[in-house]
Amino acid sequence: MAGSPSRTRRFVLLLVLLCGFGVVLFRLVSLQVLQAAELTVKADRQHQKTVSLEGARGTIVDRHGKVLAMNMDVPSVFGVPTALDSPAQTARTLSPVLRVRASELEKKLRQDRSFVWLARKLDPEQGHRLEQMPMEGIGTVLEGRRFYPKGPLLAHVLGFAGMDGAGLEGLERRYESHLHGEKRVAVLQRDALGRIVFPKDEAAQSPASGHSLTLTIDEVIQYVAEKELEEAMNKTRAKAGTVIVLDPQTGALLALAISPRFDPNSVAALTPGRWRNRALTDAYEPGSTMKAIVAAAALEEKVMKPGTMVFGENGRMTIANTVIHDHEKLGWVTFAQVIQKSSNIGAAKTGMALGDQRLYRYLQAFGFGQRTEIDLPGEAGGLLRDPKDWGRRSLASISMGQEIGVTPMQMVSAISVLANGGILMKPYVVSEVRDAQGQLLKQIDPQVKRRVISAETARTVTSILEGVVTDGTGAKAAIPGFRVAGKTGTAQKIDPRTGTYSATQFVGSFVGFVPADNPRLAMIVVIDEPQGESFGGLVAAPVFRRVGEQVLNYLGVSSNEPVKLAMATGRR
C-alpha cells in the first residue's frame, strides 16, 4: 500500500493534464470553428480600413472632341492617429503643404481612431511636395478630381463638381446621372503596430467610369464670343454682359459667353452670383428688340404690310394719360421704316392694331413667358402677364418692349424663328452621350416645338430687319460682304429704390442673324448697365459684327462680295 499515494498523485496529475488539454482543445475548436467568422471580421477591423471613393467622372468635349472637363487622379491625404508619436510635430510639418492650420490638423491627429482624412484631392504641386517628405502614420490614396483644362472658357455652361465628385452647377449638375462613375471601395491595410497603411488590391476594385458628353458648343466660337465680350465690357465698364450664338436651323448652341467670368477650377472663394448663368436666369425688359417680334405678328395677321403708312405723331403721342416719345420726330413713314428707325409710337400703333389677345397669343407662340427647355439647369420663364392683368397702357408698352421680361435665351430663340422660316426650335447643348468605351448611348437630334409664322412672313420680316442694319439703328452690326438682319434695343432699368425707370441705368442689346439670305448664325448681345453711351446700336451691335465676322470666316462661309482680280497692265 506504500505506493498508493504516489499512484494517486500521478492519477490526479494525469487528470489535471487531460482536463487542461480538453480546455485548450475546446478553446481551439471554439476559436477555429465556432467563432471563426466573427474573429475574422474583428481581425479585418483591426488591420484594414474600408474607405468609399467616387469613381472616375465622364469627360465633356466640344463638337470636335476637344476636352472641356476631365478627371485627374490626385492624392488625398489621411492619417493614422494611433500610429503617431508626435501629432503636434506632424501637424506642423504638414500644415504648409496641405494649406490647413496646424491646430486643425493636430486636433484630427489626436483622435483615438485608426483613420482620419486630413486633406482631399490636393493640387498636383501639393502632391509633389508631399512625396518628398514621407512620414510614419501618414499616407495617401489617389482620387479623381474634376479639372477644367480651358479655365474660365464656357464656365457658366459647364458648371462644376464638388469635392465629393457630385455635379453642383451647369451641365455637371444637369447630367449628373450620366457623368458620375460608380462608387469605388479602397481597402487600406496596416500592420500590427499600425505603422504601415497602403491600398490593397485597389486597382482590381475600380469600377466603370461615368459616361461622357459631346456638346454642340464649338470651342473656337466660344473663345471668340468670350474675347469680344470681355473687350466690350472693358470699353463700356458695364456691370455684366451676355453673348449667345445659336444655329437657327437646329437650335444647337454654338457659344454662350457670360461676363464677369469665373474659373471652375477655383470656386471656393466665389459667391453664387458669380457663377449664375445670366443668359437663362436673368429676365430683362428687351426694349426695341421686341419690335421685330411684334412686326412679325402684325404681318402674319395682315394688319400691316411693309408699305403701310404710319403717322409718327411728330415724335410725341399721349396714351392713357402718359406720353410716348420717339428719339426723332417722324411724320408719315412706312411700316418698314417704323421698325428700321425703331419708332416707339409706330410700335405702339402696331400693337393696338393687333389687339391684346392676338399680341399675347403670338408672344406665347414665340416662346415668351415660358422656359425654352434648353438642357441646362436654373432656367427662368421670364415675365408675360395675362391680358386680364394689363393696364390701360400695357398694350402699347409691351409692343415697344416694356412691361415684359425676357431672358437672352428666349430672345435669341425667338429671332431664330425669323431666320429659319417661321419654326420655333428647342435649343440644346448636349448632342451625344457615350459610355467609357466610346460606344454611343444616346443621340440628341434637333427638335421642332411648333410653327409660329409662315415662311413668307419670315422672309418679309428678314428684309425689314436687313434695313435696320443698312439704313437704320443697327449700322454698326454690318459685316462687309454679308447680308445681316437684326434689331437694336435700349431699355431703361427699373430703379429698385423708386420703382420707376432709371435715368442712368440701361440695357443695350442687339439680336440678329447672318447671312440673312441663308442664316448660319443667330446671335444676341446684351450689355447690362454700360457707362457712358448706352444705345444698343453703339454698345452691342459692334460686338455682333466682330463675333460674326470671325466666326463666318472660321466656318468658311463665303461672302457676297465679288472677287477682285489684280490686272497687270503694260507700260506705254
Give catalytic residues, as residue numbers: 288
The C-alpha atoms of residue 309 and residue 335 are separated, in whole angstroms, by 6
C-alpha cell at position 167: 455635379
Nearest to 291 by CA among 307, 278, 304: 304
CA 95 to chain centre: 35
Structural element, H or E, at residue 109: helix 102-109
The DSSP letter of residue 210 is P
Cβ atoms within 10 Å, residue 492: 17
In angstroms, the Cα distances linking 74 to 126, 225, 564 are 10, 33, 57
Burial of 373 (0-12, 13-18, 19+ CB in 10 A): middle
- Residue entry with cell 461676363: 259
The C-alpha atoms of residue 344 and residue 360 are separated, in whole angstroms, by 18
The C-alpha atoms of residue 299 and residue 456 are separated, in whole angstroms, by 10
- Residue entry with cell 466656318: 555
Helix (H, G, I), strand (E, B) or coil at 2: coil
Question: Side by side, which strands form the sheet with 48-54?
Answer: 48-54, 183-189, 198-200
The C-alpha atoms of residue 312 and residue 295 are separated, in whole angstroms, by 16
The C-alpha atoms of residue 312 and residue 348 are separated, in whole angstroms, by 10
Peptide bond between residue 199 and the one before it cis (omega within 30 degrees of 0): no
The C-alpha atoms of residue 346 and residue 330 are separated, in whole angstroms, by 9
The C-alpha atoms of residue 218 and residue 225 are separated, in whole angstroms, by 11
Contact 512, 522 (CB under 8 A): yes
Strands (E) located in 307-422: 309-311, 316-319, 322-325, 332-334
Contact 336, 307 (CB under 8 A): yes
The C-alpha atoms of residue 174 and residue 213 are separated, in whole angstroms, by 12
Helix (H, G, I), strand (E, B) or coil at 40: helix
Torsion, CA 214, CA 217, CA 223, CA 226, rounded to 10: -130
